[in-house]
Structure 1
């Protein structure tokens, strides 16, 4: 027919529709954008600039609070341990063979701790929950020597109510001679019978003939006692609990464990 298109050029309805869609899409997409956002593309309006202190401490206030909490806890633990125990280094040989020069010991500061309860209405007493020094206890005490105080370590040989005497190279307590296997050598001096009054103690070094102790300076006040030596921890080869005993009545006591002090075993 004359109105028909030449063979091979006939287009279907689908072809016309597809061509229309391509033209429409091309018309809607310009070659170049009408305006550019390139100058604003690197700025996020929701992100605030970091303050200067964030460069030093990037973890924020919550991180700072955690650090302060850890520091406070460590400080409390340090103060608590220091209140309970203290370590000393022994200087001298007056406690041989129990302690040698340069050994480290831990002193239990709670052993004889006295708490003042007089602030409680109606209470007029000082409370000692762990008791008083006992015969044979190895204690550290403050010796009031001019021009400064010094810490000594000795063994308690007499407590209030007891009578202590040294004669014939033997220690007598309440008239009973004691066998002391822990001393370096038998004493070569005489010590007159001495009654220990309330609040006082008699202390001797285990190296009886080379010790500046009660046989030279007399009684000490119980309030001078810092604590009981419970652990020898250095050198490690001699690590062990300290034996608190006197003569035949041998009774071993022990407690637990810190800033290093110096305890003088011999002057």
Structure 2
């Protein structure tokens, strides 16, 4: 009798371990829930809103498309590693505290490699054509500026342009710092 109880306990422990391992693999490489922090994407996404993010573009090193809403690692001055991906998933964050000063941002892709992005009189232009941005919160208050997006990078901005820390401040986002693309909102 004692032997079967021990066997059952080990069966439960191995099932829980395999479940956690599978959840970690799915959240690192396939999909992950994410909670919006802050108001930089108002009115498209609101503070504390929950979304589902596809990690497949990050896993397979594909550039996101124009207008895609993406999660980025704001630490653009350092290389990312597999360790970063493992430590940032929701399962691991139950056990490991995130690195100090580390921020994941949610932004919209405005420019891809080779694009020239201009801000003129509060409007955004890509390669000389004004973007039709029906999603922004309010007219942007900004000085005229121009950027050319380098290879393997993107230029991102928040939809609440007057309250967003984005490529205008942190610079171009390396392709490997684009961690995933929003695919759905979560309704609770």
- The normalised TM-score by structure 1 is 0.55
What is the SS of the residue equivalent to 2:58? coil
- What is the CA–CA distance in structure 1 between the aligned matches of 2:178 and 2:68, rounded to whole Å? 11
Shift of 1:162: 0.7
Where structure 2 has 5 or more consecutive residues not aligned to the other structure, the ranges are 77-98
Shift of 1:64: 6.2
Instruction: Indicate which of 26, 29, 33 corresponds to 1:87.
Output: 33
Give the aligned partner of residue 223 of structure 1.
Answer: 176
What is the SS of the residue equivalent to 1:149? coil
Please give the residue correspondences for 1:113-262 in structure 2 after superposition, counting only pairs within 5 Å.
Answer: 113-114=59-60, 128=61, 131-144=62-75, 147-234=100-187, 236=188
- What is the CA–CA distance in structure 2 between the aligned matches of 1:74 and 1:191, rounded to whole Å? 52
Please give the residue correspondences for 1:103-122 in structure 2 after superposition, counting only pairs within 5 Å.
Answer: 103-114=49-60
Larger Rg: 1
Shift of 1:196: 0.6
Shift of 1:169: 2.1
Larger RCO (CA within 8 A; separation ≥ 6): 2
What is the SS of the residue equivalent to 1:78? helix
Q: Which moved more, 1:77-86 or 1:91-100?
A: 77-86
Shift of 1:179: 1.4
Give the aligned partner of residue 19 of structure 2.
Answer: 74
Do 2:122 and 2:144's aligned partners in 1 also have CA atoms closer than 8 Å?
no
Shift of 1:141: 0.9
Where structure 1 has 5 or more consecutive residues not aligned to the other structure, the ranges are 1-49, 115-127, 237-267
Deviating runs (4+, > 6 A) in structure 1?
Answer: none
Q: Deviations over 1:132-170 (max 9, x none)?
A: 122111111111299521111110101101111111221
Q: Deviations over 1:192-220 (max 9, x none)?
A: 22111101211100001111111222212
- What is the CA–CA distance in structure 2 between the aligned matches of 1:96 and 1:75, rounded to whole Å? 34
- The normalised TM-score by structure 2 is 0.76
Q: Which moved more, 1:63-72 or 1:145-154?
A: 63-72
